[in-house]
């Protein structure tokens, strides 16, 4: 039987990290075994579902690099892929249960009469679990349809998995207690259940289920705060799974070749934003400059940095890349390189430019630099050190005022790299401006 997995979110808000991790594990399993990933939108709750939330699911998955093979936007042989459009299908399966004598009405609601037998679930993560369904007090008959005609999750979920020929249901462990109810429905409808794999919950540092109040609980957080998608997807892989060799930096391409449900941990995963932040730094440092530019550009353009051409932008990005931890910080790191009207940090001015003799040394440095014919990092550095030696001062006595003069602040990329990117004329012009503030 070919592998068919599904991600079936309810569109009620942003794509939650738990949902994204579920989508990821379904994607990995489908890709590992040459199968199909189905995206199904469970939008039967009219009051809570919105078109914006559906778009947030698409956007979040696309940003993470998780593509799907069938879905509302892709089509496929087993649609429609929105539950709100599948009412006729549910009516058909309801009739099958009715003919089998499994249904009864209770105060306007339609309920499923449990066979009251033990249900054995062979879970690919949790192992063999036997559920005793004999006691109506602990396992009451489930509602299939509400008095208002709307469907209950359990029923439509099972029907859709049957109709869409889902082979593996990979979902959060919070659904494990629903599984025996679902198995009862499969059997009553005359179908073999799919294989189940319930993955561990994601908890916060307090040991509680990750909620919307926790930082980083939605994919949108990472998009807005300048994380690299490849770092976030790497981190999500490690939430409940590991490559068994203690590696932490591992590409999604490699994971998709070695992913096994049997290697998923049983214990709950603790969400650690600091670790994701660390991974983000690793990916930013090691990515090609073109990829860094691609990911930085939306933040640069939103901030209104007038960088001119891509050819002008790349050298600027290259010198700040070693310092950047969040892509959202890039505009602040490079902004001063693309305007002569940058602000001066008062504390930096006080410390470096107001220091006794600083402006005189800056003037001498400008004169020395004016003699440099080939404006390169090594030549700039050599000229500055040569002047420091002739003046009998430490290199820092020239470096610090020069840095504030050309950037307006005392921290930033390497001074010589900065000056090379700015060019000789702009450096000398900035020295002159600093002398007047």
User: Which positions are catalytic?
Assistant: 212
Could you tell me the end-to-end alpha-carbon distance of the chain, in angstroms, rounded to an integer?
A: 75
Q: Which is nearest to 102 in space by CA: 110, 18, 15?
A: 110
Cα distance between residue 296 and residue 402, in whole Å: 27
HSE-up (13 A, CA, CB side) for residue 416: 13
The answer to whether the CB of 258 falls within 8 A of the CB of 243 is yes
Residue 240 CA neighbour count, 13 Å, CB half: 29
Q: Is the bond leading into 128 cis (omega within 30 degrees of zero)?
A: no
144 with 110: CB under 8 angstroms? yes
What is residue 180's DSSP assignment? H
3-state secondary structure string, 290-307?
HHHHHHHHHHHHHCCCCC
Nearest to 218 by CA among 205, 236, 234, 206: 236
Cβ contacts of 131 within 8 Å, gap of 6 or more: 118, 119, 120, 121, 139, 179, 180
Question: Is residue 365 packed enough to be buried (19+ CB in 10 Å), middle (13-18) or exposed (0-12)?
Answer: buried
Find all residues with CB under 8 Å of 358, minimum gap 6, and list them: 352, 397, 400, 401
Contact residues for 80 (Cβ-Cβ < 8 A; gap 6+) = 72, 86
CB of 398 closer than 8 Å to CB of 428? no
Spell out the residues 6+ positions from residue 164 whose beta carbon is closer than 8 angstroms to its own: 4, 6, 38, 40, 70, 78
Task: Report the C-alpha gap between 368 and 370 in whole angstroms.
Answer: 5
Annotated binding residue 325: no
Q: Are 262 and 43 in contact (CB under 8 A)?
A: no
8 A C-beta contact, residue 22 and residue 171 = yes
| Cβ pair 112, 71 in contact under 8 A | no
The binding site consists of: 212
Binding residues for ATP: 212
């Amino acid at each position: 039987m070919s592998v068919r997995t599904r991600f079936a979110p309810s569109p009620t808000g942003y794509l939650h990290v738990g949902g994204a991790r579920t989508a990821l594990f379904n994607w990995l399993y489908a890709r590992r075994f040459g199968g199909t990933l189905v995206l199904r939108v469970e939008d039967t709750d009219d009051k809570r579902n919105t078109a914006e939330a559906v778009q947030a699911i698409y956007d979040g998955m696309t940003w993470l690099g998780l593509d799907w093979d069938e879905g509302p936007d892709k089509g496929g042989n087993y649609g429609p892929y929105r539950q709100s459009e599948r009412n006729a299908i549910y009516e058909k399966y309801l009739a099958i249960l009715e003919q089998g004598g499994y249904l009864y009405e209770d105060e306007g609601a339609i309920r499923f009469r449990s066979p009251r037998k033990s249900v054995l679930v062979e879970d690919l993560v949790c192992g063999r679990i036997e559920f005793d369904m004999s006691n109506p007090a602990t396992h009451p008959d489930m509602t299939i349809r509400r008095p208002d005609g709307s469907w209950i999750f359990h029923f439509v979920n099972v029907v859709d998995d049957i109709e869409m020929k889902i082979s593996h249901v990979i979902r959060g462990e919070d659904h494990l207690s629903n599984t025996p109810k679902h198995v009862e429905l499969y059997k009553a409808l005359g179908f073999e259940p799919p294989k189940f794999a319930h993955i561990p919950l994601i908890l916060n540092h307090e040991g509680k289920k990750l909620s919307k109040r926790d930082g980083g609980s939605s994919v949108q957080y990472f998009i807005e705060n300048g994380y690299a998608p490849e770092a976030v997807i790497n981190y999500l892989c490690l939430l409940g799974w590991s490559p068994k060799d203690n590696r932490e930096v591992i590409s999604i391409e490699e994971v998709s070749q070695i992913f096994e449900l049997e290697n998923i941990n049983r214990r709950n995963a603790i969400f650690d934003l600091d670790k994701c932040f660390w991974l983000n730094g690793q990916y930013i440092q090691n990515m090609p400059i073109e990829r860094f530019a691609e990911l930085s550009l939306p933040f640069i353009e939103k901030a209104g940095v007038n960088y001119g051409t891509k050819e002008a932008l790349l050298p600027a990005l290259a010198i700040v890349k070693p310092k950047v931890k969040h892509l959202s910080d890039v505009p602040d790191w490079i902004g001063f390189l693309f305007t002569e009207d940058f602000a001066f940090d008062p504390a930096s001015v006080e410390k470096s430019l107001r220091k006794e003799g600083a402006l005189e040394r800056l003037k001498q440095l400008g004169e020395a630099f004016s003699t440099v014919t080939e404006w390169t990092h090594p030549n700039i550095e050599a000229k500055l050190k040569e002047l420091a030696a002739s003046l009998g001062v430490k290199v820092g006595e020239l470096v610090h005022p020069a840095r504030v003069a050309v950037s307006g602040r005392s921290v930033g990329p390497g001074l010589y790299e900065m000056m090379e990117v700015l060019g000789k004329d702009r450096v000398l012009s900035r020295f002159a401006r600093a002398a007047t503030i």
